[in-house]
Amino acid sequence: MAGERVEAFVPAPLPPDPPVDLGGSLQRLLERASLAIGRLDGVSSQLPETGLFVYGYVRKEAVLSSQIEGTRSTLSDLLLFELDAVPGVPLDDVVEVSNYVAALEHGLERVRGGFPLSNRLIREVHRVLLHEGRGSSKDPGRFRRSQNWLGGTRPGSATFVPPPHTRVADCMSDLERFFHAEDPLPALVRAGLAHVQFETIHPFLDGNGRVGRLLVTLMLCEAGVLSEPLLYLSLYLRRHQALYYELLDRVRRTGDWEAWLAFFLEGVQMTADAAVDTAERLASLFAGDRARVEATGRRAGSALRVYEVLKARPLLSIPETCRATGLSYPAASSAMDLLQEMGIAREITGKRRNRVWAYSDYVEILGEAA
Q: Please, how many CA atoms are within 13 Å of residue 314, restricted to the half-sphere of its CB?
A: 24
User: Any residues with CB less than 8 A from the CB of 285 and at least 6 apart, and which?
Assistant: 361, 362, 365
Question: Can you say whether residue 343 is alpha, beta or left, with left for phi > 0 and alpha for psi between -120 and 50 degrees?
Answer: left
Mention every residue, 6+ apart, whose C-beta is less than 8 A from residue 291.
none
pTM: 0.91
Spell out the domains of the chain, with CATH numbers in brackets: 48-278 (1.10.3290.10), 296-366 (1.10.10.10)
CA dist 97 and 75 (Å) reads 9
Quick one: which H or E segment has residue 187?
helix 187-201
In the three-class reduction of DSSP (H, G, I as helix; E, B as strand; rest coil), residue 90 is classed as coil
- Residue-by-residue pLDDT tens, the chain, 370 positions: 455 777 899 999 999 999 999 999 999 999 999 999 999 988 877 766 777 778 888 888 888 888 888 888 888 888 888 887 767 767 888 889 899 999 999 999 999 999 999 999 999 999 999 998 777 888 999 999 999 999 888 888 889 999 999 999 999 999 999 999 988 999 999 999 999 999 999 999 999 999 999 999 999 999 999 988 888 899 899 999 999 999 999 999 999 999 999 999 999 999 999 999 988 898 899 999 999 999 998 889 999 999 999 998 899 999 999 999 999 999 999 999 999 999 999 999 888 888 999 999 998 988 775 5
Instruction: Give 3-state DSSP helix, strand, coil % of the chain, rounded to 5.
Output: 65, 5, 35
